Structure 1
């Protein structure tokens, strides 16, 4: 199974793949072929993506998403913030949730954010991890 992220603390990074022939970078990872239609299909290698980027767009999720999103239907729904971030070096946009406590009122298009690890869901046996975007200077 392909990994989407790795590391902890300041070393936490999203993982993508880079084509050796055309240099295109992909997220989520691509392990079978180069997605660039003009490429002759170079070798793909794992790369850690930029830890920072700038807010490209944002909104709040005020509805309970359908499966496979995991949420307890017995608990009241809590809105969450969705942030589209243009990565610093790759210049690609990656969507993710805002870190806990980050609301749309805290965000502006163009502000700098960083990727941090987060919890998507947990139960008695398992904690499912994901990535979150956090404005620079904000600590959870």
Structure 2
């Protein structure tokens, strides 16, 4: 450790679900698209097309739309299960969970709001964008994820 500074490895909490762009420029969720029916899946699907009307095709990685509209939202007032990490001895702070509709993909994707975004800041239909986030940090690792951040556009 040069100068006594602890260096943490940045590791996605789930590999392959989003880009690893730490600056946020070009950060995207990653899904898959079926070559036969054009259905898009997130979380990504690497084995078979989940569309029951499709006979199946090759599944190719595809970046999802970086912006969507709030479909629904709520606050989480419980300690979530793994992979979320929380100290059972620490005071619990609620978090905001959003369901965001991606129009081009015709799907709804869940995720936490960016730090500082409160329930009062949100409305159904408002535009949000996906941004890099941190789920947890331990001695050697910063566990990365995605968050939804309001864009200011309506």
Unpaired stretches in structure 1, ≥5 consecutive residues: none
Residue of structure 2 aligned with 1:25, choices 40, 45, 54: 40
Give the Cα separation in 2 of the matches to 1:4 and 1:82: 18
User: If the length of structure 2 is used for normalisation, what is the TM-score?
Assistant: 0.85
How many positions carry a matched residue from both structures? 138
* Superposed structure 1 runs of 4+ greater than 6 Å apart: none
Bigger Rg over Cα: 2
1:53 matches 2:68: yes
SS of the residue 2:135 aligns to? strand
What's the C-alpha RMSD, in Å, of the aligned pairs? 1.5
Report the more deviating stretch, 88-97 or 46-55: 88-97
Q: Does structure 2 conserve the Cα–Cα contact (< 8 Å) formed by 1:52 and 1:88?
A: no
1:109 matches 2:134: no
Structure with higher RCO (Cα < 8 A, 6+ apart): 2
Return the offset for 1:78. Answer: 0.9
From the superposition, tell whether residues 127 and 15 of structure 1 become closer, same or farther in structure 2 (CA, over 3 Å): same
User: If the length of structure 1 is used for normalisation, what is the TM-score?
Assistant: 0.93
